Structure 1
Amino acid sequence: MTGITVEFPGARALDDVDFRMFPGEVHSLMGENGAGKSTLIKALTGVQGIDRGLIEIDGVTVHFAGPADAQRAGVSTVYQEVNLLPNLSVTENVMLGREPRRRWGGIDWRAAHRTTARLLRTMNLTIDPSSRLSEHSPAVQQLVAIARAIAVRPKVLILDEPTSSLDNDEVTELFRVIAGLKKAGVAILFISHFLEQVYEISDRLTVLRDGRLVGEYLTDELLRIDLVHKMVGKDLSVLVDLQAHTRESEVEEHLAADPPLISAIGLGRDGAITPLDLSVHEGEIVGVAGLLGSGRTELARLLAGIDRPDEGQIFVDGKPARFRTPRGALRRRIAYASEDRRTEGILADLTVRENIALALQADLGWFRRIPRRRQDELAASYIQALNIRPSDPEAVVGTLSGGNQQKVLLARWLAIAPRLLILDEPTRGIDVGAKAEIQKLVSDLAENGLAVVFISAELEEVLRISHRVAILRDRRKVGDLANNDLSVGRLLAAIADGEPSEDPGVAR
């Protein structure tokens, strides 16, 4: 890709960007949210037209009128949000649009199942090809999407955040598959915000910032701290300062004397999470740590009134509270930001202004419309406070980067002045710069009295931001540790042991 320029009304998403990939290499595209990564990928896959520049594959100039043209040229893509059909079988999803045919024109399902089974075996997936896709976990569905992508034997394979829903063993298996594709001469574009994974699997890096090319580098010749500096254009000492501030905070001193804002006693739901106790005080950030499937999201949904418990009780300000719906929790100023921001969070077709005002409007009722002037004031204040980019309140949210969409979602809940904010993977799939901004925001909000439940698969992030950490394993709570010089090693040991820690800092 040479001199790629893409312009939108009032903004230039890509400005004279060069990008190249070689056969049999893994290449990572790095940059903050809003740096232009998604636009470059859309140009390469035929989703987005280009205003200037050339795209060549195997030395031949190509022009993509749409994704089908890109696929015919050998470009295959697996997106972060799995775009398969859950109501169809695994085979139907893998072979959709290229089903083998019998002599008389009908689909040869036996051959289709054989081909699918062979592809699944290459990924060590032992699932029935005829089973319905919806029966499988999101992680398995992600691997099925990859199987579909490699079924066409692509020249270029784009993997957009392919590990976001995978556990460590599944990531290892995916990397084994990638290694096999490398040997077959496939050029693989690997996009991830997990720096450890980028450095483990990538041969080369290209860094974008503000729609411009920063540079192309061999992975083993670029230090990680230098990569971060090139991505964000500034030092991320804010993360170090944030962690030091969290650990030096005196919040624990008054927590012992003050009653909790919310407490759950024996709260549980059959098939979701074993009964547990949990309390959160005003001004406290309680981190929730555990492996995939440990019950983190299930706990959040019970606290937010989305799912009803089978047993146990929630108390708010010491008084029993029963949330029959999320609206009941919102009346108590308990807000929940889902890990699935695209499906359960933002409304992609609405503007930034409309998304920010949405929860407040719902709280007031649809017959008490928020005046447009008030909506404009709300949007302007939160766009500035959260550094939402672009700063246009009339921008359609679906066109924003993942990090900025997450900021819009946070702004929506902050607009109702919550007392407890439950954040489920608020920084998943966003760059280190946006992560730092969101973590700093959460810390500042807690200083001003907001109670926060912070859920993240990244243990370093949980430790950096939390005053206390609740540990889950196999859908039960196994520990509750004060964050006094906690390390990732100790946290992993507590998760692995699966038993309450005997550490004196544990609150049972």
Structure 2
Amino acid sequence: MVRVTEVMLETKHIKKAFGGITVLKGINLEIKKGEVHTLLGANGAGKSTLIKIIDGIHTDFEGEIFINGERVRPKNPNDARLLGIGMVHQELSLIPTLSVAENVFIGRLPKLANGLVNFKKLYRDCANIFEEINITIKPNEMVKNLSIADRQMVEIAKMLSHQSEIILLDEPTSSLSDDGVERLFKTVEKLRENGKAIIFITHKFEEIFAISDRVTVLRDGQQIDTIDLNMETAPHSQLETKLVSLMTGTHEDEIGELYPKKAKEISDEVVFEVQDYTQEGKYDQISFQIKRGEIVGLVGLKGAGRTEVIRSIFGRDTKQSGRTFLNGEEITIKNPRDAIKKGIGLISEDRKEEGFVGCLGLKENINLTTIMDTVTFGLINKAKETKKMRDYIKKLNIRTTSEQALVRNLSGGNQQKVVISKWLAANCKVLLIDEPTRGIDVKAKSEIYQLIRDLADNGTAVLMITSELPELIGLSDRALVMHEGKIVNELVGDAINDENIMNSIFKHSA
């Protein structure tokens, strides 16, 4: 079909500042009917701020917004919905204690004549949306029982329930499995064919090339360039290098390798070991060792049991049986406090809920795991706290408008650096990492990869879960492949590749 090219959404000279710091510097954007237009840029480039302005979240800005040629100014998200704008946020905004269907139609629940909720209609309407985008979640399931990936799909269904014409997707795939991404993209393709105008934010280049018509690159709040991918004939590898160059301001010839060099030699010293970890319905007889300075990747499809294993190691979840050894001695971990005392840290996949305290600043968050180190005569030594914060801001290159900034106001990459900082401060012997770069731009990814490699090189035993195969392959010294709660293969060195990983998984599938 011939794609309609009329402009549905336009921004003119959009400027925005926070606390005297200008974060958008005159953005002129055109989104056409029936196109997927990707916003690309490093964390802090202004992508999320721009779409939050369009969605009516930020109302104090300069410039103009036009929908179908008519000037508008959304006063709030509800106003934006009335204008035909729908948004799926990077951070989840569901209410855990309500059902899936209640979240999808929150504020618009169908009622019976007596004023009570018509749950039969509610569940039916929710099921119809789910069927359209191939979601298999039960409408009456409680959100608190869902995985992060399933919660993300509920967010998408919630947005679609508004019948929006202009759709804003802020990293909707950040916690989805490959199958989930594929299903989402099929839905996006349907929306495009139906003439929707879609703004898509992602840090994954393979997603950009798979779904995007045009890409606009932002850097430090400025609009750098817009590229029509439908007109490009260069290989994706060359386009990726070009886009990274535009994002970072670095000449294409100067862009280095994304992943640091792996360890030349791994010590024979076993730092950490688990034996026969079992939890019925989740994982069965999980055993492995991690040597000093080694990065071990834990890979598998969604539902393989990876996250459940490391949460049990950390004492966050219970297990039925299994033994844990640190430096050759058996240890008992009943809760996260025990794990921390033993020198075991966990970087959770959900940094917003479990990684940091958003209403606190950098100082408080970086000192969370080592607060007693700053206590003198029963009082917190503010000078020690501040020094530690400044040391890690400098060491990890944490970008913040001020030392007093709340962590929830930082970009995703800088939030993750704060989470890493608190565990660096704890001098962990073992670090468990779940999805280390979810929702983080390519530049921040490279910095975090180097931090993880430096930790390993300095003797920390690292166990890492990632759903991105290039990340697993680029970082891991050894990979354990999980399928349906069991470790089905171990790969070392050059054997860690896409083919071996997928063969290991699918040869054990029914």
- TM-score relative to the length of structure 2: 0.90
1:44-84 deviation digits (Å, cap 9, x = unpaired): 11111243111111111112221111111111111233322
1:362-391 deviation digits (Å, cap 9, x = unpaired): 577797444111111111111111110116
C-alpha displacement at 1:97, in angstroms? 2.2
SS in 1 for 2:128: helix
Partners of 1:87 and 1:290 in 2: how far apart? 29
Q: 1:19-34 alignment to 2 at 5 Å?
A: 19-34=29-44
SS in 1 for 2:218: strand
C-alpha displacement at 1:250, in angstroms? 2.7
Partners of 1:211 and 1:58 in 2: how far apart? 25
1:457 counterpart residue number: 467
1:239 counterpart residue number: 257
Contact in 1 for aligned 2:343/2:428 (Cα 8 Å): yes
Q: 1:204-243 alignment to 2 at 5 Å?
A: 204-220=214-230, 221=232, 223-234=239-250, 237-239=255-257, 242=260
1:199 counterpart residue number: 209
Counterpart pick for 1:309 among 279, 303, 319: 319
When residues 440 and 126 of structure 1 are mapped into structure 2, their CA distance, relative to the original with a 3 A threshold, is closer
Contact in 2 for aligned 1:29/1:207 (Cα 8 Å): yes
SS in 1 for 2:450: helix
Equivalent position amino acid for 1:239 in 2? E
Alpha-carbon RMSD: 2.3
SS in 1 for 2:53: helix
When residues 129 and 230 of structure 1 are mapped into structure 2, their CA distance, relative to the original with a 3 A threshold, is same
Aligned length: 491
2:366 counterpart residue number: 356
1:13-71 deviation digits (Å, cap 9, x = unpaired): 11111222111111111111111111111111111124311111111111222111111
C-alpha displacement at 1:319, in angstroms? 0.8
| Residue 478 in structure 1 maps to residue 494 in structure 2 | no
Partners of 2:223 and 2:208 in 1: how far apart? 19
Range with bigger deviation, 82-91 or 63-72: 82-91
Counterpart pick for 1:39 among 32, 46, 49: 49
Q: 1:139-288 alignment to 2 at 5 Å?
A: 139-220=149-230, 221=232, 223-234=239-250, 237-239=255-257, 242=260, 245-246=261-262, 249-252=263-266, 255-256=267-268, 258=269, 260-288=270-298
When residues 182 and 278 of structure 1 are mapped into structure 2, their CA distance, relative to the original with a 3 A threshold, is same
2:6 counterpart residue number: none
Contact in 2 for aligned 1:308/1:323 (Cα 8 Å): no
Range with bigger deviation, 232-241 or 460-469: 232-241
Contact in 2 for aligned 1:251/1:284 (Cα 8 Å): no
Contact in 2 for aligned 1:329/1:335 (Cα 8 Å): yes
C-alpha displacement at 1:355, in angstroms? 0.6
Partners of 2:338 and 2:376 in 1: how far apart? 17
Equivalent position amino acid for 2:41 in 1? G
Equivalent position amino acid for 1:201 in 2? I
Unaligned runs of 5+ in 1: 500-508
C-alpha displacement at 1:398, in angstroms? 0.6
C-alpha displacement at 1:309, in angstroms? 2.8
Equivalent position amino acid for 2:13 in 1? G
C-alpha displacement at 1:130, in angstroms? 4.1
Equivalent position amino acid for 1:251 in 2? E
SS in 2 for 1:263: strand
SS in 2 for 1:443: helix
Contact in 2 for aligned 1:4/1:50 (Cα 8 Å): no
Contact in 2 for aligned 1:262/1:281 (Cα 8 Å): yes
Q: 1:360-375 alignment to 2 at 5 Å?
A: 360-361=370-371, 368-375=378-385
Partners of 2:434 and 2:202 in 1: how far apart? 19
- TM-score relative to the length of structure 1: 0.91
Partners of 1:328 and 1:132 in 2: how far apart? 31
1:505 counterpart residue number: none
Equivalent position amino acid for 1:278 in 2? F
Q: 1:428-443 alignment to 2 at 5 Å?
A: 428-443=438-453
Partners of 2:182 and 2:366 in 1: how far apart? 39
| Residue 291 in structure 1 maps to residue 282 in structure 2 | no
